[in-house]
A and B are shown apart, each in its own frame.
Chain A
Amino acid sequence: MSTNAKNDTNEDPKNLNGPIRFQSAVPKERQKILKWNGWGYKDSEFRMNQKYIIEFTGDKYPIGNKQLPYFTQWVINMFGIDPTKRNVSQSMPTDLPEPIISSEVLEAIKQLNIEYSLKGIDRLIRAHGHTLREIYLLKHGSFDRIPDVVLWPKCHEDVVKIIKLCARYGCVCIPFGGGTSVSGAASCPKIERRTIILLDTSQMNRILWIDRGNLIACCEAGIIGQDLEKQLQLQGLTSGHEPDSYEFSSLGGWVATRASGMKKNRYGNIEDLVVRVRMVTGRTEDTDITLERGILVPRASCGPDFDHVILGSEGTLGVVTEVVIKIRPLPNVVKYGSIVFPNFQAGVSAMREVAKNRCQPTSIRLVDNEQFQFGQMLRPKPSWGGLILQGLKQAYITRIKRFKWDQICVATLLFEGSSTAEVAAQEQKIYNIAKKHNGVPAGETNGERGYLLTFVIAYIRDLGLEYYVLAESFETSVSWNRALSLCRNVKSRVIRECYSRGIERAAKAHLDPHNIFAAGNLDSQCLSKL
């Protein structure tokens, strides 16, 4: 593999086509570059500066090192926060519970010759996923139970050894990938008195082989999204799987949680991408505890497909160690786009028709008015030219098209294709449908901004918690005929529940039904002031 980047080396210099081992973006000691008590990189965060203007720090994201005056104003107006009053997170706790582990088990672990740690911090940062409750506990509370020991296996065989040890000594094993779970699968049961071994897959992250002819690749389960994509792109390839957490979440995690990415219209969900899965089960009474299919073919007609049982099993059936996934050549043309609709209902019916005609572009998401406005707030202070342009666009939409600023909603689009002509044809189809539903194309920049901001949104909750504002996002899937009422009913319910609890400055629920499935898929975020 001559195209390998400098710091990526073949493990075995004699085997030029052998597994690729590379420097991951996230090191083994995660806390070195990731926050221990919040989302993402340590150097990237929304922060209220001395002039009480919110800015985004770091240079990893497009709004990095920029002041956000509109957002600041919006936050103050919406939630009535006091910028001088912060609810600062506790510092890293030192009084963590002692590991429950017998010297016998510890000795056995040492014998395995696999890296391990009993340090409190290593155990704490792997004791949780990223639900609001878990993050709040990190910042202002404590966990009743955390793992007792962290192990870093490096390959499938290491995992087999660990699971066998667990079976022999009656220990509990929790597999852990990127730690971005929101299902609570990473948390330790309070009443568990057995030794909890946390199996961190992060060091099991090689790309074992790439088959360009059949367009498949075999990777170890611990590889995280951004590493996988970077390595593939170096070779002109892509997996096309891009969940919002893809910077940190792992391939094994995607399989275990039936993940879906925003480009699934073109590339498919994880269940469509997976060709073969290798999983170490807890069935130690069997001679071989690894569950895998003995063939590598596009599909098999005989017998049940156990891969589909593994998909979505959340680590309860075993540890996924290796996955063969489909890959694709990088598209030649990538183009963004956006459409403005007069109201949410028009947007939804346009989405419905796009789905009916099966002409979804790589990604299409509809953003409701609240989230559209919110997205507008996240723009940095514009230059003179930008201001005029912005004014003109707004005037066109509101004056000439007579859309109401507080009712419009926006669909953001991402097109991919092998040629400009192919993409243009896709665009034409979509814009024609949009026109029928009174949609107006609103340019590439708006669309691109939408996608660039995707990865920044997750950072907002940490800022909110600092100013007594709660934020949570939930995802669901719904059939078309119920999509509209679902959005309305969820918003209304959130507002009423807040009201009945005396939270007056409540709650703007944002809904953004994106990633149009054959049915619909909704992703909602809501914020409320405590």
Chain B
Amino acid sequence: MEQCSEFVDLLLARRKDYDILWACRSMNPLSPHKLPLESKYSRNEMIQAVLNNEKVKLAITSLAAMRQMDVKKVIKEAYDIINEMASKANLLTVRFIGLIITKVLKRIFVSIYINEKAIYKMKKEMQISQIQYVYAPSHRSYLDFVVLSYVLFSYDMALPNIASGMDFYHMYVIGELFRKSGSFYMRRSFSNDPLYKIIFNAYVMSLVKHSDRAIEFFIEGTRSRSLKSIVPKFGLLSTILESLLEGNVPDIYFIPISINYERPPEELLFAYELLGVPKPKESTVGLLQSLSILQKSYAYGSIVFNIGEPISACQFLSMEHRKEKVLSSYAKLPTSVVKNLAYCIIDSHKKNTILMPFNLIALLFNEKSQMHSDNPYTLDELVSDYLWCKKLLQVFNATVYIERSFNINNQNTDSVKQEILNGLKSHEELLIIDTSNILRLKERHRITKLKNNTRIKGHTLLEKTMRIAVPVINISIYLNPTLSFLIKPAIVTVAIGIEGNKLGNVFERYVLLRKLLTTEFAMPLIEDESVIKSEWEETLNLLLRQSYISIHNNTYVQRKDTKWNESKSTYITIQEILIEAQKQIEKAFLAQRQWGQHPYSLSIDLINTTIYNLVLQGILIPHKNPNLYLILAQLQNLSLKRPLGSYLNAVLLPLLPPPVSAKL
């Protein structure tokens, strides 16, 4: 909790003086990558360097020969590609955008907290060394890169070269504005366009080497609709590492950044997307329409911006990798190296996740609805469970953010109550305490929303299902951030089961579950048994120390503790998600339609990651692979306790008219 005191509200200062003066202040933005003048390239020099790159030149001649066309035409094609790709940097544009962004952020957010010390430390290090920097933020909202740029601008730092999708490029005016504030554009998929691929690699490598500005990219590749870390993408990362391997820069520091939203503006869209409703296409018109979010001030609560310790990429490259590269310039970096770095960044995102009070409330609410749907939360019950839950999470090193106005040491019921009410404030469209002092979920699904849903990704769901699924998924995504901290202990407890199991058995079950859940919870798939073993022991020892588990006669026994059982069943819920997903796949196989108990199992992402996981392990390739049945059989043996309640019977508060929530 001590960390909390380090966070500073950026918007606080902005509300005190004039934005225009601030945006136009004289500044000398600090460039992270100190370069001698002659090797700092402008956009044009960068383009020329790419076109003169030996590999690009070679590719152009071979392509011309292959297609039997004039080399000049291919060169023109290459020029068009790089011209579409390369970024510009223009301080004036940045100031202009900065001004508008400030206005918007001040309107919709209460505060933007940041661990300022990390920024100052980073700035100091930038001044002494000559290394390149890569910002690797988590991706939960389109606002991520806006907020990051805003933060950098606020601290007089140069905006990075931001890897952006072509979606933005096609936006009228905006595309070019983004480019001028540092974006460069990459197509979504170009593995089968060799020229594009080579040019892209050459461009990224020359950014690493010749740009004095850092690089920014989202390692998760896309916004995580479920608000939990997703399996990292390796493409861009491996190109950046390749540049380091060639010795173009002394080192590259990756700065993992966890951006935590109390309420991401896209939350409802996410819920729909998870159910298979496609996202609206990015367009300038769409952007203007989305300005409707400005209607209500402070509607989206706070953002907590947590910058992690820099990760030096050099430590991932061994002498052997470097030697191989010197001995043969075509040597490729093993994918395991890229993977290790990628998961190191993801791990840092998870560790630096700051939980909002609402995340805990969502966790508890979900729990209650599953276990005791007939006995919903009253505020007082919520307060006591909330306190317990917070302590539990702290055992697993989670940081729960509370605003500075609260005294950290004074955890009396009143202040906790206030904390909860504040947490609920920005979510009053989803979850409220109704007039009878009971915590209730509100209806969110509007039929009109689905008018022209011609491009639904999956199965078209019934209106009746949607009515329940939309709000439930909406609240479920808020409990997901807590799983960064809970997943490992959860797997351990599930593996142990309730009755108690023999030591060897339990570990085997742990390995199986760990394997199955790797993709869903963005954990690296570990092949080496000893590594898994040490991970298992670490978690287990933590649980033993807290005496949540004890060992009797070589058998693990869970403590019979009412609270613990309750949280235990939370874990079962997670486990149940897996089974439901399995059922979905089973359904696909056996064509037996059958709904899962928890609507979250309808999530497309969940099904996708699970399928991906199974494919990864080679289980899913042959349709009649007995392995699948074996795993299902093993899962049946896990003696899992199913939650008693079901959302199907949940009482939703009607959507209209919005009831006036009590004293909020």
List residues of chain A with CB under 8 Å of any chain B CB: 342-346, 404, 407, 482, 484-486, 488-489, 491-493, 495-496, 499, 506
Residues of A within 8 A of B39 (CB): 345, 484
| Closest Cβ–Cβ distance, residue B32 to chain A (whole Å) | 13
Q: Which of B22-62 contact A (CB under 8 A)?
A: 36-39
Residues of A within 8 A of B597 (CB): none
Q: Bound state CA distance, A345 and B38, in angstroms? A: 7
Given the known inter-chain contacts A488-B130, A491-B130, please indicate yes or no for A496 contacting B251, CB distance below 8 A: yes
Q: Is B378 an interface residue (CB 8 A)?
A: no
The 3 nearest A-B residue pairs measured at CB: A492-B250, A489-B250, A492-B130
Q: Are B249 and A343 in contact, with the CB atoms below 8 A?
A: no
Among candidates B37, B38, B251, residue contacting A492 with C-beta atoms closer than 8 Å: B251
Nearest-CB residue, chain B, relative to A404 = B37
Residues of B within 8 A of A345 (CB): 36, 38-39
| Closest Cβ–Cβ distance, residue A483 to chain B (whole Å) | 11
Q: Which of B218-270 contact A (CB under 8 A)?
A: 246-251
Can you list 23 pairs linking A and B with CB atoms under 8 Å apart? A342-B38, A343-B36, A343-B37, A343-B38, A344-B38, A345-B36, A346-B38, A407-B37, A485-B249, A486-B247, A488-B36, A488-B250, A489-B247, A492-B129, A492-B131, A493-B250, A493-B251, A495-B128, A495-B129, A496-B250, A496-B251, A499-B128, A506-B128
| Closest Cβ–Cβ distance, residue B189 to chain A (whole Å) | 32
Q: Bound state CA distance, A227 and B46, in angstroms? A: 55
Q: Are A496 and B247 in contact, with the CB atoms below 8 A?
A: no
Question: Interface size of B by Cβ–Cβ distance < 8 Å?
Answer: 15
Residues of A within 8 A of B125 (CB): 499
| Closest Cβ–Cβ distance, residue A38 to chain B (whole Å) | 31
Residues of B within 8 A of A407 (CB): 36-38
Q: Bound state CA distance, A44 and B246, in angstroms? A: 44
Nearest-CB residue, chain A, relative to B128 = A499
Q: Are A485 and B251 in contact, with the CB atoms below 8 A?
A: no
List residues of chain B with CB under 8 Å of any chain A CB: 36-39, 125, 128-131, 246-251
Nearest-CB residue, chain A, relative to B314 = A493
Residues of B within 8 A of A496 (CB): 128-129, 131, 250-251
Residues of B within 8 A of A492 (CB): 129-131, 250-251
Residues of B within 8 A of A482 (CB): 247
Q: Bound state CA distance, A485 and B131, in angstroms? A: 12
Q: Bound state CA distance, A342 and B38, in angstroms? A: 9
Residues of B within 8 A of A491 (CB): 130
| Closest Cβ–Cβ distance, residue A350 to chain B (whole Å) | 13
Q: Bound state CA distance, A343 and B37, in angstroms? A: 9
Q: Bound state CA distance, A496 and B129, in angstroms? A: 6
Residues of B within 8 A of A404 (CB): 37
| Closest Cβ–Cβ distance, residue B363 to chain A (whole Å) | 40
Q: Bound state CA distance, A484 and B210, in angstroms? A: 13
Q: Are B36 and A485 in contact, with the CB atoms below 8 A?
A: no
| Closest Cβ–Cβ distance, residue A290 to chain B (whole Å) | 38
| Closest Cβ–Cβ distance, residue B50 to chain A (whole Å) | 17
Residues of A within 8 A of B246 (CB): 485
Q: Bound state CA distance, A123 and B247, in angstroms? A: 44
Given the known inter-chain contacts A343-B36, A345-B36, please indicate yes or no for A485 contacting B128, CB distance below 8 A: no
Question: Assuming A489-B249, A499-B129, what are 18 further A-B pairs, CB within 8 angstroms?
Answer: A343-B36, A343-B37, A344-B36, A345-B39, A484-B39, A485-B246, A485-B249, A488-B130, A488-B250, A489-B250, A492-B129, A492-B131, A493-B251, A495-B129, A496-B129, A496-B131, A496-B250, A506-B128
Q: Bound state CA distance, A311 and B321, in angstroms? A: 30
Q: Bound state CA distance, A499 and B251, in angstroms? A: 15
Nearest-CB residue, chain B, relative to A346 = B38
Residues of A within 8 A of B131 (CB): 492, 496
| Closest Cβ–Cβ distance, residue B28 to chain A (whole Å) | 18
Q: Are B130 and A485 in contact, with the CB atoms below 8 A?
A: no
Q: Bound state CA distance, A457 and B554, in angstroms? A: 71
Nearest-CB residue, chain A, relative to B209 = A485
Residues of A within 8 A of B247 (CB): 482, 485-486, 489
Residues of B within 8 A of A489 (CB): 247, 249-250
| Closest Cβ–Cβ distance, residue B495 to chain A (whole Å) | 41
Among candidates B37, B38, B248, residue contacting A485 with C-beta atoms closer than 8 Å: B248
Q: Bound state CA distance, A492 and B248, in angstroms? A: 12
Residues of A within 8 A of B129 (CB): 492, 495-496, 499
| Closest Cβ–Cβ distance, residue A467 to chain B (whole Å) | 23
| Closest Cβ–Cβ distance, residue A444 to chain B (whole Å) | 28
Nearest-CB residue, chain A, relative to B124 = A499
Q: Bound state CA distance, A407 and B125, in angstroms? A: 23
Q: Bound state CA distance, A94 and B131, in angstroms? A: 49
Candidate in B38, B246, B251 with the most chain A CB atoms within 10 angstroms: B38
Nearest-CB residue, chain B, relative to A499 = B128
| Closest Cβ–Cβ distance, residue B548 to chain A (whole Å) | 40
| Closest Cβ–Cβ distance, residue A305 to chain B (whole Å) | 26
Nearest-CB residue, chain B, relative to A343 = B38
| Closest Cβ–Cβ distance, residue B555 to chain A (whole Å) | 48
Q: Bound state CA distance, A261 and B130, in angstroms? A: 32
Q: Bound state CA distance, A485 and B250, in angstroms? A: 8
| Closest Cβ–Cβ distance, residue B366 to chain A (whole Å) | 45
Q: Bound state CA distance, A491 and B251, in angstroms? A: 12
| Closest Cβ–Cβ distance, residue A488 to chain B (whole Å) | 6
Residues of B within 8 A of A344 (CB): 36, 38
Residues of B within 8 A of A342 (CB): 38
Residues of A within 8 A of B130 (CB): 488, 491-492, 495
Residues of B within 8 A of A346 (CB): 38
Q: Bound state CA distance, A486 and B130, in angstroms? A: 13
Residues of B within 8 A of A488 (CB): 36, 130, 249-250
| Closest Cβ–Cβ distance, residue A494 to chain B (whole Å) | 10
| Closest Cβ–Cβ distance, residue B360 to chain A (whole Å) | 39
Residues of B within 8 A of A343 (CB): 36-38
| Closest Cβ–Cβ distance, residue B339 to chain A (whole Å) | 25
Nearest-CB residue, chain B, relative to A369 = B36
| Closest Cβ–Cβ distance, residue A410 to chain B (whole Å) | 16
| Closest Cβ–Cβ distance, residue A474 to chain B (whole Å) | 16
Residues of A within 8 A of B38 (CB): 342-346, 407
Q: Bound state CA distance, A493 and B244, in angstroms? A: 14
Q: Bound state CA distance, A345 and B248, in angstroms? A: 14
| Closest Cβ–Cβ distance, residue B165 to chain A (whole Å) | 31
Nearest-CB residue, chain A, relative to B129 = A496
Q: Bound state CA distance, A489 and B247, in angstroms? A: 8
Q: Bound state CA distance, A245 and B130, in angstroms? A: 33
Residues of B within 8 A of A495 (CB): 128-130
Nearest-CB residue, chain B, relative to A489 = B250
Q: Bound state CA distance, A342 and B39, in angstroms? A: 13
Q: Bound state CA distance, A496 and B253, in angstroms? A: 12
Q: Bound state CA distance, A346 and B38, in angstroms? A: 9
| Closest Cβ–Cβ distance, residue B133 to chain A (whole Å) | 13
Nearest-CB residue, chain A, relative to B248 = A485
Q: Bound state CA distance, A486 and B125, in angstroms? A: 21
Residues of B within 8 A of A484 (CB): 39
Nearest-CB residue, chain B, relative to A342 = B38
| Closest Cβ–Cβ distance, residue A513 to chain B (whole Å) | 15
Nearest-CB residue, chain B, relative to A344 = B36
Nearest-CB residue, chain B, relative to A504 = B128
Residues of A within 8 A of B249 (CB): 485, 488-489
Q: Bound state CA distance, A486 and B250, in angstroms? A: 8
Q: Bound state CA distance, A117 and B318, in angstroms? A: 48
Residues of A within 8 A of B248 (CB): 485
Nearest-CB residue, chain A, relative to B329 = A481
| Closest Cβ–Cβ distance, residue A79 to chain B (whole Å) | 16
Residues of A within 8 A of B251 (CB): 492-493, 496
Q: Bound state CA distance, A495 and B130, in angstroms? A: 9
| Closest Cβ–Cβ distance, residue A508 to chain B (whole Å) | 12
Q: Bound state CA distance, A459 and B632, in angstroms? A: 77
Q: Bound state CA distance, A101 and B607, in angstroms? A: 80
| Closest Cβ–Cβ distance, residue B240 to chain A (whole Å) | 16
Residues of B within 8 A of A493 (CB): 250-251
| Closest Cβ–Cβ distance, residue A207 to chain B (whole Å) | 43
Residues of B within 8 A of A486 (CB): 247
Q: Bound state CA distance, A506 and B129, in angstroms? A: 11
